[in-house]
Chains A and B, each alone.
Chain A
Amino acid sequence: MNPARNPSEERLLAYAAGTLSPPEAVVVAAHLALRPANDAWVRRLQSVGGEFLETTIPQTLSDGALSRAMARIETDAGEVRAQAPLNEMPELPAPLRRYALGPWRWIGPGMRVRDVHAPRDGDCRVILLKIDPGRETPRHTHGGVELTCVLSGAYATETERFEVGDLEEADEDVLHRPRVVSDEPCLCLVALDGQIQLDGWLGRVMQPFVRL
């Protein structure tokens, strides 16, 4: 296992506990769909949560709580939940199929982006990024945390190669310039917090046009 291409233990813990921000949880869910071993580990962490729930000191309920609950189930007509339709990208991992997708937008040579209409958290949102073989994104730093999961293809940074299912965590300290190294375009799911600060002359030229 290479820690650089997996979520940190803290992030898996937060996911299992349900405290990860919703956009990040979407990216981790996609990663887990592609990495059964990590998925099994998260389930095990949820049984730790179950154990904590079991052993927590109970809080007394208000008077009549049980009879209110019983009355509720007597009159309960079940749950009315319209299933969202599947989106038009069957190649996406199952947890992503029910999110509506925005239109593809051109953001640079060989680079397209579309919004994933998953829940946002402040400025943090989820996007799909598709980059053609051999393309490099402009060198950039990040305003906030960026969490990336490779859905198809592969890219490499200065130090690491990221393939399908790999997850990369980048923050303000990381300055990087991913380059697509697969023969096919590289499709990534990204939870993005804040604006990407483009760096270098190309970045300065592009910055006004790039709305990520």
Chain B
Amino acid sequence: MHVDAPSFASSVPRGGAMSGESEDPCAHDRLIEAVALRRDREAFARLFEHFAPRLKAWLMKSGATAAAAEDFAQDAMLTVWRKADLFDARKARAATWIFTIARNRRLDMLRRDSRALPTPEIEPSENEAMRPDAILAMADDARRVRAALTRLKPDQVEVLRLAFFMDSPHSEIAQTLNLPLGTVKSRIRNAMIKLRTILEPSEEAPR
């Protein structure tokens, strides 16, 4: 497998301004809201056309076959249809919300594969019961996260991307990049520390 996605440094204008993008960055948020409010099928179709191919790509990178990855994308998008009314653009923008839906689905799959003990259908608190401070913090996150990623080194962005996309023991990432395991671990750690410094500059408060 090779890493074929564009690096953030080249695909996003420096400073993270969205001006370089032709599409309204909130367009997908509005589509999900249209599905929630009016069961808008046209809006769902546009969401599907945008996100299903990306979900498929994600699953294939984590090792799924094309057919399994497409089934996964179909199922995840059906969940988007069903749960659209839980979407709250103040908490997370469309891509993040759909990412967490897909992430939870993937966890559920792991659970089903794991040894049989009753698995209560529990969804961790991802999308509900957010505290007011967390909602505030989320308000302009999309822009800040995008800007922060442009300030990481390309090889740091690459390991983070792999950490998100592969069901990855770090050894798998090391194999993919043909790097020693220790290098991968320290690169991930450094990327995370840098990300935190950029996104949470006032980290004095006790956690």
Contact = CB atoms under 8 A, between A and B. Distances in A.
Contacts, number: 224
Contacts of B168: 19
Given A9-B196, A19-B168, A53 B55 contact: yes
Instruction: Please report whether the interface of chain B is mostly helix, strand, loop or mixed according to DSSP.
Output: helix
Nearest to A67: B45
A55 B73 CA distance: 16
Given A56-B5, A72-B78, A73-B81, A47 B92 contact: yes
A51 B77 contact: no
Interface string A1-39: 100001001101110111101100100010011011111
Contact of A47 (B55, B57, B93): B93
Nearest to B98: A53
Interface in B158-177: 160-161, 163-168, 170
Interface in A56-98: 56-62, 65-66, 68-70, 72-73, 76, 78-79, 81-84, 94-95, 98
Nearest to B193: A9
A33 B78 contact: no
Contacts of B161: 52
Nearest to B69: A59
B96 A37 contact: no
B186 to A, nearest CB: 10
A43 interface: yes
A60 B146 CA distance: 25
Nearest to A39: B134
14 contacts: A18-B103, A22-B110, A25-B124, A44-B200, A51-B145, A53-B58, A53-B99, A59-B66, A62-B66, A66-B49, A69-B44, A99-B120, A117-B120, A122-B115
